[in-house]
Amino acid sequence: MRTVSVVLRRTALVLTAVFACGGLLFALGYAFEDPGGGRAVLLAAVVVVPLAALTALAALRRRPALRVLAVAVGLYAVWGVVALFVDLVDAPDLPMIALVLALPLAVVGLTYALRAGVLLVVVAAVPLLSVVSILMRESDGEGPGLGDLLGGSTGVVVVPLLVLAGLFLLAGALDRGPVPDRGLPADQPLTKVWASTTVIGRPADRSRP
């Protein structure tokens, strides 16, 4: 079971990295076209700096990173609730923040799969809540339907994140709880973790020269 769990963790990490980085690059590409200039550079900095910082922390120190990310997800949820009543930013802020949080959560998920999966579900639920809110406000039939809303930037982010969260939850369930896998110690950098396993899910034999 642990072999399957490690495969699921690593697969989810790779898919999350491709999805998050690709989505953010796509969004930033549009930002440099319109509005472009200094605002686009500022937006890029706001996205890249926390993404790099959180991912580096998750790769080097996953235990404290888990706490930091839990707080960040909580603040993100508060932001999403406030955004239901106040138009805070004239941009698809919820999907972009979700992508920023997804990658470091996936890195943490190498060790804490179950907890990372739960946090990813919360991250996906915040923009989904905004979609449900729009549907409820425009329930007279004249507004966009659920398919139209999920086909936009929000839906493109929500559905894949839920699938990725499911992979981490399944990996955590196979471990019977959020216990760090033996081959994925929480107190070692990510590079050492990957190098420490010669067979998936089993620690390398360090008795050999």
What pLDDT band is residue 195 in, cutting at 50, 70 and 90? low
Sketch the domain layout of the chain as residue ranges. 2-195
Contacts of 72 by beta carbon, 8 Å cutoff, 6+ apart: 54, 101
With 0-12 / 13-18 / 19 or more C-beta atoms within 10 angstroms meaning exposed / middle / buried, residue 40 is: middle
Distances 131 to 95, 125, 151, 160, 164 between C-alpha atoms, Å: 11, 10, 11, 16, 20
**What b-and-e string marks burial along 122-151, b requiring 16 or more CB atoms within 10 Å of the CB?**
bbbbbbbbbbeebeeeeeeeeeeeeeebee
110 and 66 Cβ atoms separated by less than 8 Å: no
pLDDT at 179: 47
Cβ neighbors of 118 (< 8 A, separation 6 or more) are 165, 169
| Two tokens, residue 23 | 């989505």
Peptide bond into 35 cis (omega under 30): yes
Which residue has tokens 């910082």? 53
57-80 pLDDT, tens per residue? 999 998 999 999 999 999 999 998
- Please tell me which residue, 190 or 37, carries the higher pLDDT value: 37
Q: DSSP secondary-structure letter at 76?
A: H
User: pLDDT digit string (tens) for 103-115?
Assistant: 999 999 999 999 9
Write out pLDDT tens, residues 108-160: 999 999 999 999 999 999 988 877 776 666 655 555 555 555 556 677 888 89
- For 61, which DSSP code? -
